[in-house]
Amino acid sequence: DLNDTGIIYVLSRASAEDWAQKLELQGFSARPYHAGLDLEVRKQNQEAFVRDEVKIIVATTAFGMGINKSNVRFVIHLDLPKNIESYYQETGRAGRDGLQSEAVLFYSAGDAAKLRRFAFQSTDQEHAYALIEKLEKMIELCERTVCRRKLILNYFGEQAPESCSSCDVCLTTYTYEDGTIYAQKALSAVARLGSTFGLNYLIDFLRGSKSERIVDEHRALPTYGVGSRTDKDEWRRYFRELIAQGYLRQIPGEHTHIALTKKSLPVLSGQEKLQFVARRAKQRVESDTALCEEALFTQLKQLRLEIAREENVPAYIVFSDATLLALATYLPQKISELRSISGFGEIKTARYGERFLAPIAAYCDEHGLTSRVAEVFRERAR
């Protein structure tokens, strides 16, 4: 939606500039924000966002601290955050008004490898290992098929139910397949190579690659080439699942190595079987705002912006999105009905009541609708 407000997080200044420009060319209202911008430009872009004059900020992690903007509808991470603390803080900037909002994270194993390399550029090895440890927890959050909310809360030492009914994992139906044979081949490769090689080498070894990078003595091992009928992407998925389920672990370093864990031994010996995710099917999610008149909601947001500019205040100071959503859902027709809408106290009803009733009345006349305010009282009585 061109009218939705959101924050897009990236790791580099160049990406912030590039994506803001791309969004503008697609018709979105977007500005970049990063430490490399002139201080006055940063200030202008931030204020325009807070006042709803700009809908999207494409920012590095330098953005967001101390901003009390309640109507952020989405937070998108185009790059993998370096740790769960940052991710938790940044996603927490969406939906502060209590309305449904989205957090979207784009993840790839390549991003993780890049961040590992960056961490080990530090001259302080102890600091580098601390960064890697936090990064591995962030990667685990992305790769495990466990409720995301549960993983985040458990990370901070809090308890959580098995399902939040809101994250992608909980809204997906998983079909599983027996992955024991693939697991045994992968674990055997790690064991044969002494837990001193990275993921790409292991996959090439299993597939019987003729590449010169494969050590001659490894070509003589019985596990060499046993996975030749399985393509690279599938093997990568199997290894990721084994790591996510704790059968393998990653040893941090400039070049990360894959190693066995105690949990892997029963699988190698044939005493334990395990399953891999075979297929994912998204469940349909019904909107909580099915009765909202979207076109009217857009009109009311425009009116709010006009008033905010007149009074030189951020738009959310006039009314929150939650109040406008209630107006566009319950369609009050007179001042007395406005008072049943959250956000309309005596002062705001007197100051803005008539101005907001006018477009609601016009919309209802055009579409043959009447007030639904009585439903507010029925909901509150439940």
Contact status, residue 115 vs residue 82, Cβ threshold 8 Å: yes
Per-residue pLDDT tens digits for 299-308: 999 999 999 9
Q: Averaged over 357-368, what is the pLDDT? A: 94
Q: CA angle, corner 76, sides to 75 and 77, nearest 5?
A: 125
Q: Averaged over 351-357, what is the pLDDT? A: 94
Residue 9 pLDDT grade (very low, low, confident, very high; cuts 50, 70, 90): very high
> Can you give the pLDDT at residue 55?
93
> Can you give the pLDDT at residue 241?
87
> Can you give the pLDDT at residue 376?
58
Residue 140 pLDDT grade (very low, low, confident, very high; cuts 50, 70, 90): confident
Cα–Cα nearest to 187, from 109, 242, 134: 242
Per-residue pLDDT tens digits for 18-55: 999 999 998 899 999 998 999 999 999 999 998 889 99
Q: Averaged over 132-141, what is the pLDDT? A: 88
* CA–CA dist 372, 333 (Å, integer): 9
* CA–CA dist 157, 137 (Å, integer): 14
Contact status, residue 16 vs residue 10, Cβ threshold 8 Å: yes
* CA–CA dist 67, 40 (Å, integer): 17
For the chain, give the mean pLDDT: 88
> Can you give the pLDDT at residue 104?
95
The pTM of this model reads 0.75
Per-residue pLDDT tens digits for 113-126: 788 888 777 767 78
